Structure 1
Amino acid sequence: MGNASILLVDNRKAIIESFRKSFSEIEVKHTLFSAANENEAWSMLDGSQKLSPVPKIILIDVNRTKNKGIQFLNAIRNHTDLKSILVFVITDSENEINKAAALNLNIAGYIPMSFESQTLNSFVSVLNEYWNIIEFSSQK
């Protein structure tokens, strides 16, 4: 896939720092951006703080903000230029309603996990291998 950007959407600073540490330890070559909430993430995808190029991958815990996470995923899937973004839901909480809703929005994966260092490193390592073998269109 080459060097692509990844957007992590989570309001917990400790989780964001844990991901940055795992990316460094695993030597992930992709750029990690973070947004504290869905509004900030949307601004980075299609608003005043738009990233260029737009991230190819989003990591989000849709269980953190009631229904805003599902609404955010729905907006991505209904946006012509964003609908092809790979979205992985990563969560340390259970919510069967959000799980079903996210899966119905064609996410790349719903991954229940703890955010402990060893578990996170294993997760990032597996995803990094996956990200390095897939290809994206050069078009929007």
Structure 2
Amino acid sequence: MTNSNILLVDNCAADIENVKKAFSDIGIKSTLHLAQNDNDAWLMLQGENKISPIPKIILIDINEESVNGINLLSKMRVHPDLKSILVFVITRIDNEVNKAAALNLNIAGYMHKPFEGKNTTDFFSILNDYWNIIEFSSEKK
């Protein structure tokens, strides 16, 4: 999955730094873009700050305060250019309502955030292995 974009939607500074460090430690070649909330993410997907090419993967914490991830997922799933993006919910909060809603919006996975450095690296190493064996559309947007 070299030279592709990944969008992280999260507003926890410590978690963002852990993800950046894990990506660096693992050597993930994708460009990591950061959005603080669903509105920022939408602008990066369809607004004036649009990421090009469109990310193949979105990592989102739908349970963070000020991140309306269900709203973002709902808009993405009806948009012709965004509906096939792989979305992984990575959260530390158990919210069964949000979990059910996200699963009904065809997310690729709902996982709990790792809390410490090595655990974060191991976690993203496994995800990176998965991302590198699946096939993505070669269609350019």
Normalized against structure 2, the TM-score is what? 0.94
Give the equivalent residue in structure 2 for 1:85: 85
Structure 1 distance, partners of 2:70, 2:125, is 26
Secondary structure at 1:94 match in 2: coil
Give the equivalent residue in structure 2 for 1:113: 113
Give the equivalent residue in structure 2 for 1:60: 60
Give the equivalent residue in structure 2 for 1:26: 26
Query: Could you tell which deviates more after superposition, 113-122 or 102-111?
Result: 113-122
After superposition, the CA RMSD in angstroms is 1.4
Deviation at 1:67, TM superposition (A): 7.5
* Aligned residues of 1:8 and 1:34 also touching (Cα < 8 A): yes
**Deviating runs (4+, > 4 A) in structure 1?**
none
Structure 2 distance, partners of 1:65, 1:79, is 25
Aligned residues: 140
User: Alpha-carbon deviations, 1:33-53, whole Å to 9, x = none?
Assistant: 111111001000000100100
In structure 2, the gaps of 5 or more residues are: none
Deviation at 1:114, TM superposition (A): 3.0
Counterpart residue type for residue 13 of structure 2 = K
Q: Percent identity?
A: 60
* Aligned residues of 2:36 and 2:67 also touching (Cα < 8 A): no
Counterpart residue type for residue 46 of structure 1 = Q
Deviation at 1:55, TM superposition (A): 0.5
Counterpart residue type for residue 68 of structure 2 = K
Distance 1:86 1:78, change over 3 A: same
Deviation at 1:69, TM superposition (A): 1.1
Give the equivalent residue in structure 2 for 1:44: 44
Counterpart residue type for residue 20 of structure 1 = K
Distance 1:108 1:4, change over 3 A: same
Counterpart residue type for residue 38 of structure 2 = E
Structure 1 distance, partners of 2:52, 2:118, is 32
* Aligned residues of 1:113 and 1:119 also touching (Cα < 8 A): no
User: Alpha-carbon deviations, 1:48-97, whole Å to 9, x = none?
Assistant: 10010010000001011378211111111111100000000000111000
Give the equivalent residue in structure 1 for 2:17: 17
